[in-house]
């Protein structure tokens, strides 16, 4: 496998630095100076790799979306049936096992907030959501098909699971200490399987 160029390595480090600073302090307080300090670089080097802070944020959207896909691929590697693949997806997004990161969750919540305010960030966020929705729809369609159910409702069911996930991220950051440990993955799986089991039969 080819090694990243020094420029790509530096860009990745800057994006990770924004993730860390933003997760702790929010986007507004994630100044170029704070990001540079976290990355161990001079502020001028950030402007060499990114024209503005928003460009780093947009890159972070892609980085976190890719991380989620990678975690799912790792967890789904041994899955033998549609239900196990669906569980691997939910564990990849909500599970507390290896690879889980509260910093990533906090950064994603901050991104969602900025997507409301910044059109360029919203576009990147929506692209990531479409990828998630497509993947989840496919996984749920497989589950429905496997149980002899109609697949027509797969996308609406996927949207419901995705909304549950996003809400769980918010609660994890804003009220994590009052929510039951590990509830989110269990609740999402129950919701998804209830939707599958109560969908109309095929034929």
What's the pLDDT score for residue 149?
A: 95
Which CATH architecture best describes the domain 53-197?
Answer: Orthogonal Bundle (1.10)
The predicted-structure confidence for 32-50, as pLDDT tens digits, reads as follows: 999 999 999 999 999 999 9
In the chain, which residues fall in CATH 1.10.10.60?
Answer: 1-51
Q: Where in the sequence of the chain do the CATH 1.10.357.10 domains occur? A: 53-197
pLDDT at 67: 96
List, for residues 5-34, the tens digit of each pLDDT value: 688 999 999 999 999 999 999 999 999 999
Percent of the chain with pLDDT over 70: 97
DSSP letters for 102-161:
HHHHHHHHHHHHHHHH-HHHHHHHHHHHHHHHHHHHHHHHHHHHHTTB-STTHHHHHHHH
pLDDT band at 178 (very low <50, low <70, confident <90, very high): very high
Ranges 66-70, 95-99, 160-164: which has the least confidence: 95-99
Q: What is the pLDDT of residues 59-68, one digit of tens each?
A: 999 999 999 9
- The CATH class for the domain spanning 1-51 reads mainly alpha
Q: Which stretches of the chain are DSSP H helices?
A: 6-25, 32-39, 43-49, 53-76, 82-94, 102-117, 119-146, 154-175, 183-197
Summary mean pLDDT of the chain: 94
Q: What is the predicted pLDDT for the residue at 1?
A: 45
pTM over 0.85: yes
Residue 75 has pLDDT above 80, yes or no: yes
pLDDT at 87 over 90: yes
Give the per-residue pLDDT at 65.
Answer: 96
* pLDDT(106) > 60: yes
pLDDT tens readout for residues 120-142: 999 999 999 999 999 999 999 99
């Amino acid at each position: 496998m080819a090694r990243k160029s020094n420029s790509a390595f530096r860009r990745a480090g800057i994006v990770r630095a924004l993730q860390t600073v933003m997760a702790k302090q929010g986007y507004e307080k994630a100044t170029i100076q704070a990001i540079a300090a976290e990355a161990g670089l001079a502020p001028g080097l950030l402007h060499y790799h990114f024209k503005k802070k928003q460009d780093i944020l947009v890159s972070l959207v892609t980085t976190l979306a890719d991380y989620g896909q990678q975690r799912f691929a790792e967890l789904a590697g041994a899955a033998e049936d549609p239900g196990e693949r669906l569980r691997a997806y939910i564990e990849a997004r909500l599970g507390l096992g290896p690879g889980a990161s509260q910093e990533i969750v906090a950064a994603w919540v901050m991104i969602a907030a900025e997507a409301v305010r910044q059109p360029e960030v919203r576009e990147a966020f929506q692209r990531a959501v479409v990828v998630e929705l497509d993947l989840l729809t496919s996984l749920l369609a497989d589950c429905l098909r496997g149980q002899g159910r109609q697949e027509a409702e797969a996308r609406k069911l996927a949207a419901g699971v995705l909304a549950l996930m996003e809400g769980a991220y918010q609660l994890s950051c804003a009220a994590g200490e009052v929510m039951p440990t590990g509830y989110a993955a269990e609740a999402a799986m129950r919701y998804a399987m209830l939707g599958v089991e109560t969908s109309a039969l095929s034929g």
